[in-house]
Amino acid sequence: MLPRSAPLAPPVPPPVYFWHRTDLISTWVIAALAFITRFIGLTAPTSSGTPIFDEKHYVPQAWDMTKAGIELNPGYGLVVHPPLAKEIISWGEMLFGYSPLGWRVMAALFGVGTVVMIMSLTRRLTASWQVATFAGIIAVFDGVLLVASKFGMLDIFLTFFVVVAAWALVRDHQQVHNRLHAAWLDGGLGDSVFGPRIGFRWWRFVAGVALGLALSVKWSGLYYIAFFGLTCAFADLWLRRRYGIKRYITGTLLRDVPAALASLVALPVALYLWSWRNWFGTETAVYRHAVADGTVPADSPLRMLPDTIANFFYYHSSVLEFHASLTTSGGHSHPWDSKPVEWLVAGRPILYYSNTNLECFNGAECRQMIYLFGTPIIWWLLIPVLLWSLWCVLLRKDRR
């Protein structure tokens, strides 16, 4: 047998957590709180019975899907987000019609699911039902998660799939850790200096499915594909080093990274293309005949491709141009403009709804307003908590 590097210290397996009755009770209690807070008043804020804020884009597009399977929406022209979230919204409209309940019920349900998945993720990370319950309480009463769950928009669907991907990758990491630990106890790490092959990793596959669905909601999913892909690779690298694999870097590159690229990159891309199936199968979709009708310039390199593929890429280039120009610096000034640097500390609320036609008890005029705004005690404490966590990792070498 070829020599291995000695482990840094006697390796220990990840914590094993067994489901108890307290887990079941706490999950049902938090889920019930999430359900109540998201469904109370769900249908109330409307603009004379019509959608409000950016619902005005997504809700009609979802209604188009209930009738034609694609976003027709000629009043707005270019449809600037992938179709999956609007397809999910359309399921509610199929059940309850073109009504506030119809276009918001799926967002509310996914909002409840997000809270439950945050609890599950925390339980996996900490092996503690108490900490998981506390995380669930924070998620229930966070302003951003609450408001995003009560309107027929896209972000709560993206959030749900991203949290599912994180949960699946934590399970994958713990499963690989257990496999390597069992092999180490049995002396079965193998003869190769690159370490053993791990076998098929179903939880990483699940994470790839969730990331593909996130990408099919918004292009923002690309950031999570990149981040989770790198995180997974470095976690595998750490485990191979932890268990004394001699060439742990090369071993990770040869035995972990290719499969990770398949699960966390190729699979999401395939699911993203799948989400456009109705676009490919319908003759009246946006830019479906961009080459034939002369929309694609005659000197464009896209004309070297088959028409359908050229139309698809032209559509995407148009969407990219739309998002790139949708900034204050591009001349689109907005009084409620919120800079990304302010998002982490909830420095600027986003106005979703305003109703000035209210009469107070004393006869004076009142105004009802709904903001997307993070609960300050949660968001502002996040900064010192993150700094403390970095200090623990970098200086105290406490990986937890």
pLDDT, tens digit (0-9, with 9 covering 90-100), for 317-337: 888 888 777 665 556 666 667
pLDDT recorded at residue 7: 54
Answer with the one of 326, 355, 380 that is the final residue of a domain: 326
Q: Which of 6-15, 64-73, 226-235, 281-290 is predicted most confidently?
A: 226-235
Residues 189 and 241 in one domain: yes
Instruction: Find the range with the poorest average confidence among 39-43, 99-103, 220-224, 299-303.
Output: 299-303
Burial class (CB in 10 A: 0-12, 13-18, 19+), 46: middle
Q: How many CB atoms lie within 10 A of CB 160?
A: 27
pTM of the full structure: 0.90
Residue 45 lies in a domain: no
List the Cα angle 54/58/61 in 5-degree steps: 145
pLDDT recorded at residue 331: 60
Residues 228 and 166 in one domain: yes
Q: What is the pLDDT of residues 104-137, one digit of tens each?
A: 999 999 999 999 999 999 999 888 899 999 999 9
pLDDT recorded at residue 1: 45
CA–CA separation, 292 and 23 (whole Å): 59
Q: What is the pLDDT of residues 248-275, one digit of tens each?
A: 888 888 888 999 999 999 999 999 999 9
Residues in Cβ contact with 222 at an 8 Å cutoff, skipping those fewer than 6 apart: 215
User: What value does the mean pLDDT take over residues 90-104?
Assistant: 93
CA–CA separation, 101 and 32 (whole Å): 19
The count of residues in the chain is 400
Answer with the one of 326, 357, 388 that is the final residue of a domain: 326
Instruction: Find the range with the poorest average confidence among 132-136, 279-283, 358-362.
Output: 358-362
Residues 275 and 291 in one domain: no
Residue 344 lies in a domain: no
Q: Which two tokens stand for residue 366?
A: 């009142």
164 pLDDT higher than 50: yes
Residue 370 lies in a domain: no
Beta bridge partners of 355: 368
Residues 244 and 291 in one domain: no
Residues in Cβ contact with 250 at an 8 Å cutoff, skipping those fewer than 6 apart: 194
Residues 216 and 305 in one domain: no
Q: How many CB atoms lie within 10 A of CB 55?
A: 24
149 pLDDT higher than 90: yes
User: 162, 224 in Cβ contact below 8 A?
Assistant: yes
Answer with the one of 249, 283, 317 that is the final residue of a domain: 283
The structural domain count of the chain equals 2
Residues 274 and 189 in one domain: yes
Residue 129 lies in a domain: no
**For residue 300, what are the domain limits?**
287-326
DSSP 85-140: HHHHHHHHHHHH-SSHHHHHHHHHHHHHHHHHHHHHHHHHHH--HHHHHHHHHHHH
Residues 201 and 313 in one domain: no
User: 195, 244 in Cβ contact below 8 A?
Assistant: no
What is the band of 218 on the pLDDT scale with cuts at 50, 70, 90?
very high
Residues 277 and 244 in one domain: yes
Residues 256 and 273 in one domain: yes
Q: How many CA atoms lie within 13 A of 255 on its CB side?
A: 21
Residue 252 lies in a domain: yes
State how beta strands 365-372 and 350-359 pair: antiparallel
Residues 320 and 303 in one domain: yes
pLDDT recorded at residue 42: 92
User: 213, 150 in Cβ contact below 8 A?
Assistant: no
Residues 300 and 277 in one domain: no
Residue 387 lies in a domain: no
Residue 304 lies in a domain: yes
Percent of the chain with pLDDT over 70: 93
Residue 367 lies in a domain: no
Arithmetic mean of pLDDT over the chain: 87
CA–CA separation, 66 and 119 (whole Å): 33
Residues 178 and 268 in one domain: yes
